[in-house]
Structure 1
Amino acid sequence: MTIIRTNRILIVMAIVILLLNYPVNMYLLNYSPEPTGIFIAFILICIVMMRLIDKKKDK
């Protein structure tokens, strides 16, 4: 149960980072997207995918 919650939290964090990085920065604040934010969001998504693959292998 805690793995599912952790995965959901990580996915929500990745989505928030991507949303803040692209639409908010580009259209509302007139900043260019930060590559660091994109990198962190994709790392979070990769962590969740690795956890899901490991969980499926264990079953």
Structure 2
Amino acid sequence: MSKFQISFDHRREAQERLEQAGGWIDYKKKGLPVFCFPNAQAKKKYIKLGQAAYRRKVEM
């Protein structure tokens, strides 16, 4: 796995965050999906969006 990829997440909200961060879904040689990012900054943005969403969910 390259440094700008993370494991696929089937949840809709995770895929929406992926789009907001500028990432896309790609497939490994064995056909497994992964989240890809053009650079480290986009990957970091995806992670921060996920952390913010978790905090909002916990505060409810």
TM-score by length of 2: 0.46
Greater strand proportion:
2
Question: Rg: which structure is higher?
Answer: 1
The TM-score, its normalising length taken from structure 1, stands at 0.47
